[in-house]
Structure 1
Amino acid sequence: MRVWRAFPRGESVDFRAAENEDLALGSTWGTERTVRASVLRTLLLKVPQEEGEIAALRITGARITGVLDLKYATIDAAVRLSHCHFDGVPELYGARLRQLNLSKSVLPGLTSAALRVEGVLHLTDCHISGPTRLGGAQISGPLFMERARFTAPDDSEPVLQLNQAVIGGDLWAPEMRAHGQVRLTGASVAGRINVQDAEFDKPGGTALDAQNLNVGAHVRARCVRARGRIELRGSRIPGRLDLLHARLSHPGDTALRASSCVIGELWLRGGDRIEGALNLRRSQIEILTLEPEMLPDQVHLSNLMYTVLAPHESAERRLPMLERDDDRYEPYGYEQLTAAYRHVGDDDAARLVQLAKQRRRRTTLTWYGRLWGYVQDVTVGYGFRPLRAAVWLLSLMTIGSIAYGLDHPRPVKTDEAPDFNPVFYTLDLLLPVINFGQEPAFAPEGWYQWLSYTLIITGWILATTIVAGVSRTVSRQ
């Protein structure tokens, strides 16, 4: 009767005996605090009016017995059932409500797929011990689930279903606890998503399934803890995906899959090392903040596009992540990392990445290709270490000059031979395209002849690798 009299005037009815009572003991509350769900249903459907007043259902601290069945109903009055204990699972499938507030209530489940709420939906501090079905729901305002707890007696279905839901405001759920799968596939959130300090717990399975998620702004997931896979494939997040200080764990499988995504900024920094694989294949990320210490043993970056890679680290610290993609050679990853270094003007790091690319490619070649690769690497560093050629030439010229200076080779024609010069004779042997007139005029003998053959062959190899290196340098510019 108290509820019936208060409803037409929109007044609140508080049945609580104390402010901080344990709602888990709601099933023991007596008849003085018990309201039948059928009474609430009748009130909401008949909507008794009082002139000059706005009807609303506002109950605090009641035990609600039976099943609140509002399937397909259109309710014009605001509904607030906070600090309540529900004996049965509310049936709100296809209902249309102006506003629904179940904050701090205990429910055995919630069946509200295809629900429409014209205002705000509050599940703040709720403890729901069965599946919460909000798939296909349309909420014009924000959805609040701060500190809410979602559990289920078994793993037969997700504990929280928001697949294909449309939320016109923010999805606000910091410190939420979900012991089972949370499904957000195909959901659309016009504002932000905040799951900071939240916990997603489904070991060995998918803890958060948010494939094809569309967010209007940012996703704040700082300090989030996930045991099980986080699935974000195909999602669009124009702002930040903030995973600072996150702890992601799915050993033996993929811990975070954000492939084929379009993301403004992805922050993976400050957290524990990811346990499980990281998959960012085919995604487009404007600013990728990736801390090397967080990277797992297996990283998939095939066809990943990014403009800025932060924080700025040396090439030696970044290159290992390109070698953790199933031990396969992926040239695109090296090119993308090179572009990121050139974007910030670090040409030295860009050259190191290109050198690492050639060395990695060498492992895929035939034995003679690998042999030629080793020659290019040792001599000029595949063109990225051109000064090495000068060092080799200078060393060989010194050896030849000393050897032929100690024992001059005999002239081929004594009357026509020029004065012997050991330095220019050695250069004639080393440089195949330059002729100082020394090499054809003198004929070494014994081991000096073998030295001349060695200098000629080495000169041709050095010349070829220098030309290849110069060509690569020119094409790079």
Structure 2
Amino acid sequence: MEINDLTPAEARVWRAFATGTAVDFRAADDDDPADGASWAPERTVRAAVLRALLLDGPREDGEVPALSLAGARVTGRLELQYAEVDHPVRLRHCHFDEAPRLYAARLRELNLSESVLPGLVGHAVRVDGVLRLTRARFTGMVRLGGAEVTGSLYLESTRIHDPDAEGPVLQLNQAVLGADLWAPGLHTRGEMRLTGARVTGTVNLTDAVLDRPGGTALQAETLSAEADVLMRHADVRGRLELRGARIPGRLDLSHARLANPGGTALRASSCVIGELWLREGPVVRGTLNLRRAQVEVLFVHPDVVPDWVQLNDLTYTSLIPHEPAERRLPMLEMGDSYLPFTYEQLTAAYRRIGDDDAARLVQLAKQRRRRRTLPWYGRLWGHLQDVTVGYGFRPLRAGGWLLSLLAVGSVAYGLHHPAPLKPQEAPDFNPVFYTLDLLLPVISFGQENAFSPGGWYQTLSYVLIITGWILATTVITGLTRTVSRQ
């Protein structure tokens, strides 16, 4: 392209390129690029001119060329697919009539911050530096699937709205970032896809709004983030999909709003997570799925947990904050399935911090939940164990029953002594030890075999013998279970 073919605005950009001088066409700092379609010709630059500059622009000895342009309207399509650009590209506060095409291009640096674009095509693009889309506004899809950025990708307060999109509005699937995905305040209307992406640093979606009601708002299956995934105060309207993600740091959903009524709000199944924080926010609207996840520290407030959770094979080392067992148990008892492993996990968490009372209460709740899966005779026996000794986890209750029966028998036989079987050989009758002989099956004080009650007193002795056997059996069963747990 010859310099004589350029407009005055384009000639100014052409001359500034060789020395990397910035060109700013803005009349004021608050010029809105959304109005760029009405900007005058003196602020208009053809995309073909920018392409010619980037591929074969002028050079000056001792200078580093760079395209640094602000406040321009870019007409036509910026075609850089398969191109290799060795100098920075900064097109800030610009208005693009058509979506740039960067497919498989190799760039030194790309900065489209504060610009307005109808989309971006950048599959498999490689940026040897940083890619900045800070506060940019897209009315079409941003396609960066398979992109490789050696530095960070910046999407602070970026807005991506495409009501006619037939796929994800932000595609970062299989992308590889050498540093952070820095996107606090990001606003997407449609699906954001991070499937299979690898981020060496942090994924920061603090204060982000991911809006796709009834669908998947964030698709991040098998995401690998080597630091943290921060979604504090995020507003996710739709499914948050993290199945198979690897996050050795923290998945922080503090103060976040997760809403997908009638569907799954958060799916973090089969994940490996250092710390999962789900706290100090509104109740999750939708299902919480943590099946087969491995979490080192599970920081969950009971007030955030929804009415339906899936915890099959969830493993965790620490559960914080420390809450009474009564506050944690409802999460384990949702649904129709009996999952003994979830009770064992909670029991272990309480024992790890020395709260044995809470651990026993969880084990008692486990037996009661198991009872509902048994046939009628098993449920009947379970109710009996529960009422008498609380399945062995409340042994003092058995003592109360024994003392009550001892008092009844002692009074009854004290008022009416049973007749001795051999009057000359019988010991002196003692109603207390006679009742103990009936109640305790393995101890004998010589009273039961020496006297024979009659009438209803004989019926009472049968009741005491049967009740004593039941109490003894349930106490031994409960103590055996408790000792085995220790």
Q: TM-score scaled by structure 1?
A: 0.99
Q: In the alignment, what sits opposite 1:338?
A: 347
Contact 1:47–1:77, Cα closer than 8 Å, also in 2: no
Equivalent residue of 2:480, what SS? helix
Distance 1:473 1:232 in 2: 39
Q: In the alignment, what sits opposite 2:467?
A: 458
Selected match of 2:338 from 329, 334, 352: 329
Q: In the alignment, what sits opposite 2:118?
A: 108
Q: Are 2:213 and 1:211 aligned?
A: no
- The residue correspondences of 1:151-162 to structure 2 (distance < 5 A) are 151-162=161-172
Q: Are 2:95 and 1:88 aligned?
A: no
State the 1:51 CA deviation.
1.0
Q: In the alignment, what sits opposite 1:22?
A: 32
- The residue correspondences of 1:313-324 to structure 2 (distance < 5 A) are 313-324=323-334
Distance 1:294 1:24 in 2: 40
Distance 1:434 1:147 in 2: 79
The number of equivalent residue pairs is 476
Selected match of 1:467 from 463, 467, 476: 476
Q: In the alignment, what sits opposite 1:46?
A: 56
Contact 2:156–2:182, Cα closer than 8 Å, also in 1: yes
Contact 2:223–2:246, Cα closer than 8 Å, also in 1: yes
Selected match of 1:234 from 236, 240, 244: 244
Distance 1:462 1:179 in 2: 64
Distance 2:23 2:238 in 1: 43
Distance 2:311 2:388 in 1: 32
Contact 1:232–1:258, Cα closer than 8 Å, also in 2: yes
Selected match of 2:150 from 140, 159, 163: 140
Contact 1:143–1:171, Cα closer than 8 Å, also in 2: yes
Q: In the alignment, what sits opposite 1:370?
A: 379
Distance 1:259 1:398 in 2: 57
Equivalent residue of 2:306, what SS? coil
> Which of structure 1's runs of 4+ aligned residues deviate more than 4 A?
none
Selected match of 2:83 from 69, 73, 81: 73
State the 1:155 CA deviation.
3.9
State the 1:47 CA deviation.
3.0
Q: In the alignment, what sits opposite 1:428?
A: 437
Counterpart residue type for residue 423 of structure 1: V
Q: Percent identity?
A: 66
State the 1:327 CA deviation.
2.1
Equivalent residue of 2:280, what SS? coil
**CA gap 1:308/1:184 in 2 versus in 1, 3 angstroms:** same
Distance 1:346 1:311 in 2: 13
- The residue correspondences of 1:130-209 to structure 2 (distance < 5 A) are 130-209=140-219
Contact 2:134–2:155, Cα closer than 8 Å, also in 1: yes
Q: Deviations over 1:117-148 (max 9, x none)?
A: 00000000000110100000000000111000
Distance 2:411 2:308 in 1: 54
Equivalent residue of 1:472, what SS? helix
Q: Deviations over 1:335-358 (max 9, x none)?
A: 000000011111110000000000
Counterpart residue type for residue 149 of structure 1: R
State the 1:153 CA deviation.
3.0
Q: In the alignment, what sits opposite 2:399?
A: 390
Q: In the alignment, what sits opposite 2:420?
A: 411
Equivalent residue of 2:387, what SS? helix
State the 1:446 CA deviation.
1.0
Stretches of structure 2 lacking an aligned partner (at least 5 in a row): 1-10
Selected match of 2:322 from 309, 312, 334: 312
Q: Are 2:268 and 1:258 aligned?
A: yes
Q: TM-score scaled by structure 2?
A: 0.97
Counterpart residue type for residue 17 of structure 1: A
Query: Mean Cα displacement is larger for which, 91-100 or 372-381?
Result: 372-381
Distance 2:449 2:45 in 1: 114
Counterpart residue type for residue 299 of structure 2: T
Distance 2:162 2:53 in 1: 31
Q: Are 2:10 and 1:6 aligned?
A: no
Counterpart residue type for residue 70 of structure 2: T
State the 1:22 CA deviation.
1.7
Contact 1:331–1:357, Cα closer than 8 Å, also in 2: yes
Selected match of 1:129 from 125, 139, 148: 139
State the 1:443 CA deviation.
1.0
Distance 2:479 2:93 in 1: 76
- The residue correspondences of 1:439-450 to structure 2 (distance < 5 A) are 439-450=448-459
Q: In the alignment, what sits opposite 1:249?
A: 259
Counterpart residue type for residue 10 of structure 1: G
Q: Deviations over 1:72-112 (max 9, x none)?
A: 00000110000000001100000000000000000000000
Distance 1:153 1:390 in 2: 70
Q: In the alignment, what sits opposite 2:8?
A: none
- Provide the aligned C-alpha RMSD in A: 0.7
